[in-house]
Amino acid sequence: MLSLTLREAISKLKDGSLSAAELCEKCVTRAKRVQELNFIVTDNFSQSQKEAVHSARLWSEYVSGRHNEWRKFGGIPFAIKDNFCTKDIRTTCASHILNNYVPPYTATVVQKLQDAGGVIIGKTNMDEFAMGAGSTDSIFGPVRNPWNYEFAQSGEEQDKTNDWHIAGGSSGGSAVAVATGASFGAFGSDTGGSTRNPAAYCGVVGFKSTYGRLSRHGLIPLVNSLDVPGIFAKSVDDASLLFNAVAGHDTRDSTTVTDSIETFTLPDDISVKHLHIGIPKEYHAPGMSPCVLEAWRRAADLFDRAGAKVSEVSLPHTQFSIICYSVLCCAEVASNMSRYDGIEYGHRAKNEDSTEELYAATRHEGFNDVVRGRILAGNFFLLKRNYDNFFIKAQKVRRLIAEDFRQVFGGGMDILLTPTTLTEAPTYSWFTEVDNRTRAEEQDVFTQPINLAGVPAITVPASLSQSGLPIGLQFIGPNFHDKEVLTVAKWFEQQTNFKRLDLSHLDKS
């Protein structure tokens, strides 16, 4: 049952061969069985099961013909990254400063999901305030990748001496929720690759839409000009279903596109003969593992054999994107984090000798070193004497990076094909040998230029490495060509027939 895709589950709910209540119960059982992966920080098991029982009654009435209305995701479990506000469910951003925060409202994309009948199984673990690329910097501890993981037998204690692979970040918990079968889809956020990176490491689909297609209302901001709600799914079809359900203009988010969005269904019979696929030469980056390079080469050959034209292209300003991203990220972080002062909500220090000391103590106690470091760097970049040399210059470089993509797509390219990550998922011990900033710069090299340009991109599992870990490849398209990106990704998915992680043996132990 948990091996079904979202599309398959909906089909079975519609014909009455599957019960929403049973489906939710199976997901809850699986989530509890794999809880040692540390991917859920606040569970909503009881409430989700109650809602699923209600949805099961509605489906039964629909199947029996007593009414003609049905909700697309009625009773189907989903997981939500812990930086999306959820009314009456704790939302922490994996930080001490919001450890006991319960929002009075729900983020727009989450609300749309619930309006379509989806139930929230839990809030997922992440890097604190989404600052990281491994989901290792959380007050709840790191997220563990289920691939090649040695699960403890029922009743046994977890062996904490064994090394394991990271889930990627910053939305690692959401990726693990989908990969393990504990949910049929999940939301993450994507500021520089935080959806696509963990999707690649965990062998699931990760979709970052065109900036402005999905509302950011209720997504606790990291970098307003880069943040995009991300979608995790088992298949490209599932990602398309979720995108169509939650996309559209939101009066509470002025950055959403006001043009109406036509819903679409991806075709099953897809031809790529008319396509021109671009291979950016700058993405042959130092440190790329042979298995990723080979997967990239095989994918290009696959398109070539299918009749598509495959050509090398240049995105000349890619080399400056990491520095540009770092400056803009820190500058906006410094601004966004200023709201956490211990006065209106969140953690409040006991030091009340003065307002300034209260602010300082609250923020020192509430933020980890990574967050404080970015705040300090951002305020430095925004100083009057530095503003033009750092922030303004970074904005100019960002425009050049976006122009690179516009010129490539305007020159006849339909889709760009790139790796998503330099390697397969690294081990936790290796990843934590150096600081967060260094690892983030390494891990985001292929993903953050897409956020700077605002274009859509999707990660699709391509193959397994020699060590049995997933390798994901990334498809990038022009602005507002989300459907085309999803269609090409679905064709590639059909050709590779990647075998998803099977944890059914855990249900018997």
pLDDT grade for 169, boundaries at 50, 70 and 90 = very high
Helix (H, G, I), strand (E, B) or coil at 111: helix
Are the beta carbons of 55 and 3 closer than 8 angstroms? no
Q: What is the pLDDT of residue 494?
A: 98
Is a pLDDT exceeding 80 seen at residue 158? no
How many Cβ atoms from other residues are within 10 Å of residue 268's Cβ? 8
Amino acid at 22: E
Residue in 55, 171, 174, 194 annotated catalytic = 194
Question: CB of 114 within 8 A of CB of 125?
Answer: no
What is the chain's mean pLDDT, rounded? 96
Residue type, 107: A
CB of 243 within 8 A of CB of 235?
no
Phi, psi of 337 (to 5 degrees): -75, -10
Query: For the residues of 441-454, what is the DSSP string, one character each?
Result: HHHTTTTHHHHHHT
Q: 223-239: b or e for each residue (b if 16 or more CB lie within 10 Å)?
A: bebbbbbbbbbbbbbbb
Q: If phi over 0 gives left and psi between -120 and 50 gives alpha, with beta otherwise, what is residue 473?
A: beta
Q: Specify the long-range contacts of residues 359-364, CB closer than 8 Å, at least 24 apart.
A: 362/97, 363/97, 363/337
> Could you say which of 48, 135, 170, 235 is catalytic?
170
What is the pTM assigned to this prediction?
Answer: 0.97
Round to whole Å and give the CA distance between 109 and 33: 28
Indicate whether 145 pLDDT > 70. Answer: yes
Does residue 160 or residue 181 have the better pLDDT? Answer: 181
pLDDT at residue 151, rounded to an integer: 95
Distance CA 110, CA 187 (A): 8
Q: Tell me the pLDDT tens digit for each residue of 218-270.
A: 999 999 999 999 999 999 999 999 999 999 999 999 999 999 889 999 999 99
User: Of 278, 110, 127, 92, nearest to 197 (Cα)?
Assistant: 127
CA distance 398 to 325: 8
170 pLDDT exceeds 90? yes
For residue 170, say if its preceding peptide bond is cis, omega within 30 degrees of 0: yes
Is 81 a known active-site residue? yes
pLDDT of residue 429: 97
Whether residue 198 contacts residue 132, with contact meaning beta carbons closer than 8 Å, is answered with no
H or E stretch including 464? strand 457-464
Q: What percent of the chain clears pLDDT 70, i.e. is strictly above it?
A: 98
Distances (CA, A) of 79 to 42, 171, 189: 10, 11, 13
Closest alpha carbon to 481 in 410, 399, 375: 410
Known catalytic residue at 170: yes
Burial class (CB in 10 A: 0-12, 13-18, 19+), 139: middle
pLDDT computed for residue 70 by the predictor: 81
Tens of pLDDT, residues 27-82: 999 999 999 999 999 999 999 999 999 999 999 999 988 877 789 999 999 999 99
Half-sphere exposure of 282 (CA within 13 A, CB side): 17
Determine the pLDDT at residue 156: 65
Distance CA 378, CA 173 (A): 27
Residue 313 pLDDT greater than 70, yes or no: yes
Catalytic residue chosen out of the listed positions 81, 123, 208, 483: 81
Q: Where are the beta strands (DSSP E) in 319-445?
A: 415-419
Which two structure tokens, joined as six digits, stand for 269?
Answer: 């019979």
pLDDT tens, 69-101? 789 999 999 999 999 999 999 999 999 999 999
